[in-house]
């Protein structure tokens, strides 16, 4: 079982290292993980308990959590706002790229897709142009699915929560764009294996495929393979061109992750040729962030998340406060600033940040975006402060917003019901639990609501 000593057998004839262990979660399944190694031979002991140590991005309970942290690096580099795009250098050198990125980072995905498509029409053989439209199409769909809430990635909820399924037509388009990008990249690399732009572009495509397989197809090991492939491509870029700062985003992020792993896991990944250093990772990210390339702001966002993990809140907040005003329509970044304030213990400022988002949403600053997430976050904050009446009122605001996200609505109604139970308002609590079930009977909140209808929630 997970938590026991497991033996990693290295089979010389297969030149592989295989870790066998079982995690009986629910029905009970045994998991075998196989890695390629360079110099196999002998045995290695791995303490599986180390595989479940705390990291910010978590794998399902029946898989090593550290692997998911690695996979999800491809996600966090693409869900955040940017600096004024006029200060950045995009490829191909088409002025419409700046306009398209303005809309993309303001979460106006439809307009950015149209503009990126126009760029692609003028540059049909440029893999960068393909990757741009690929990213916009992918993240428009992820947002529609409800898979871009940054708060979900701080715990297990994003793996346990079944988001809305992807549109098959959009999935097909994503796959076609990925194949087109890879075909262009491989063609250039076949002509010149040291074409750094083609290597870099292939790493980006692999990174996006990692995001797609993780969050849409939920194929974790495929996501991991592509995440590692992206890192290796960008490491090769830096070997050929050390000043290619854009490539330091993925390499830096992976270095930080590898340097943060528990000792037993570090030993295992070292055997398969993967190493890392937190210090080097932070340095690479700072260099990418200070550059003027396409990954400058993405590097700032990854830095923000890692600094939060290191509890270096003032530095993380400084980054957030510099980004939010540049793209005021980006709801996700505004929410992340509130989350950072809460994590740093600045609860009154966090509450003000959430309330500002709600008012801005009512004023039309976030058209077609689910700003009701701020009401849910405010409710959670007040609940933690034991302001149960205030929390119930905040949760109620979600249903007052036009066309709220169904998942957010369920969570808010469940939270409101529990607050009413604590306040001894059982009739109101029952109404809220019934509303949770009425939204969707096949979700975790609905299951909890059914239990609450039978037995009142008690304050923990």
pLDDT at residue number 164: 80
For the chain, the domain total comes to 3
DSSP class of residue 164?
P
Are residue 261 and residue 180 in the same domain, yes or no?
A: yes
- 252 and 314 fall within a common domain: yes
Give the model confidence (pLDDT) of 144-173 as tens digits: 988 876 555 544 444 555 568 899 999 999
Task: Please check whether residue 57 lies inside any domain of the structure.
Answer: no
Q: Is residue 58 part of a domain?
A: no
Q: Kindly report, residue by residue over 34-51, the tens digit of the pLDDT.
A: 333 333 333 333 333 333
State how beta strands 29-36 and 5-11 pair. Answer: unpaired
Do 31 and 159 have their domain in common?
no
pLDDT of residue 162: 53
The first and second tokens of residue 338, run together, are: 């509130």
Per-residue pLDDT averaged across 229-246, rounded? 95
* Contact criterion met (CB below 8 Å) for 229 and 219: no
Packed helices 373-384 and 347-362: angle between N→C axes, nearest 10 degrees: 160
What confidence tens digit (pLDDT) does each residue in 298-335 have? 898 889 889 988 999 999 999 999 989 988 999 999 99
100 and 230 together in one domain: yes
Domain housing 121:
67-326
Query: At a CB cut-off of 8 Å and minimum separation 6, what does 180 contact?
Result: 130
Residue at a domain's end among 305, 326, 347:
326
Kindly state the percentage of the chain with pLDDT values over 70: 75
Edge-to-edge, what's the strand order for the sheet holding 5-11?
Answer: 29-36, 16-23, 5-11, 43-47
Structural domain ending residue among the three candidates 291, 326, 361: 326
DSSP assignment, residue 90? -
Give φ, ψ of 376 to 5 degrees.
-65, -45
What 3-state class would DSSP assign to 319?
A: helix
The pLDDT value recorded for residue 223 is: 83
Last residue of one domain, picked from the residues 307, 326, 345: 326
Closest CA to 5 of 273, 264, 271: 264
Q: What is the pTM of this model?
A: 0.75
CATH code at 160?
1.25.40.10
Q: Are residues 166 and 208 in the same domain?
A: yes
Distances in Å between the Cα of 263 and the Cα atoms of 51, 255, 259, 269, 281 are: 10, 15, 9, 10, 18
The CA–CA distances, whole Å, from 4 to 51, 62, 447 equal 11, 14, 32
Bigger pLDDT: 26 vs 287:
287
> Looking at residue 56, what DSSP letter applies?
S
* Between 12 and 345, residue with greater pLDDT: 345
The two structure tokens encoding residue 434:
């019934």
Whether 8 and 21 map to the same domain: the answer is yes
Residues 320, 217 share a domain:
yes
| 277, 143: one domain | yes
Does 421 map to a domain?
Answer: yes
Model confidence band, residue 130 (pLDDT cutoffs 50, 70, 90)? very high
Q: Which stretches within 44-107 are classed as H helix?
A: 65-76, 95-105
The pLDDT, as a whole number, for residue 128 is: 97
């Amino acid at each position: 079982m997970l938590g026991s000593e497991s033996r990693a057998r290295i089979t010389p004839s297969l030149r592989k290292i295989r870790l066998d262990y079982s995690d009986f979660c629910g029905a009970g399944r045994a998991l075998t993980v196989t890695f390629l190694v360079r110099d196999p031979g002998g045995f290695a002991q791995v303490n599986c308990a180390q595989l479940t140590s705390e990291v910010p991005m978590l794998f399902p309970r029946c898989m090593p959590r550290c692997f998911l942290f690695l996979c999800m690096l491809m996600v966090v580099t693409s869900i955040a706002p940017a600096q004024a795009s006029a200060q950045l250098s995009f490829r191909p050198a088409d002025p419409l790229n700046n306009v398209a990125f303005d809309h993309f980072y303001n979460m106006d995905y439809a307009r950015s897709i149209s503009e990126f498509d126009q760029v692609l029409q003028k540059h049909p053989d440029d893999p960068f142009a393909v990757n741009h439209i690929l990213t916009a199409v992918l993240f428009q769909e992820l947002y529609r699915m409800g898979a871009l809430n940054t708060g979900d990635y701080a715990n297990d909820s994003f793996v346990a929560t079944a988001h809305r399924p992807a549109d098959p037509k959009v999935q097909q388009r994503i796959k076609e764009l990925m194949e087109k990008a890879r075909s262009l990249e491989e063609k250039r690399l076949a002509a010149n294996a040291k074409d750094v732009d083609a290597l870099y572009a292939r790493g980006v495509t692999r990174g996006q495929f990692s995001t797609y397989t993780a969050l849409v197809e939920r194929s974790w090991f495929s996501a991991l393979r592509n995440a590692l492939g992206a890192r290796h491509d960008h490491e090769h870029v830096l070997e050929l061109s050390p000043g290619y700062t854009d490539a330091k985003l993925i390499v830096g992020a992976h270095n930080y992750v590898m340097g943060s792993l528990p000792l037993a896991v570090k030993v295992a990944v070292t055997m398969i040729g993967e190493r890392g250093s937190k210090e080097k990772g932070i340095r690479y990210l700072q260099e990418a962030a200070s550059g003027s390339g396409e990954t400058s702001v993405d590097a700032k966002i990854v830095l923000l998340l890692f600094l939060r993990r290191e509890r270096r809140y003032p530095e993380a907040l400084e980054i957030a406060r510099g980004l939010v005003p540049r793209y005021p329509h980006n709801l996700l970044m505004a929410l992340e600033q509130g989350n950072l304030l809460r994590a740093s213990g600045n609860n009154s400022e966090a509450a003000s940040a959430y309330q500002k988002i709600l008012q801005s949403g009512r004023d039309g600053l976030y058209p077609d975006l689910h700003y009701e997430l701020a009401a849910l976050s405010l409710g959670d904050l007040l609940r933690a402060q034991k302001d149960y009446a205030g929390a119930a009122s905040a949760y109620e605001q979600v249903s007052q917003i036009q066309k709220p996200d169904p998942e957010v609505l369920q969570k808010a109604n469940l939270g409101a019901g529990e607050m009413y139970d604590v306040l001894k308002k059982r009739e109101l609590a029952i109404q809220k639990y019934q509303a949770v079930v009425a939204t969707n009977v096949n979700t975790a909140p609905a299951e909890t609501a059914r239990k609450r209808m039978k037995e009142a929630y008690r304050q923990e």
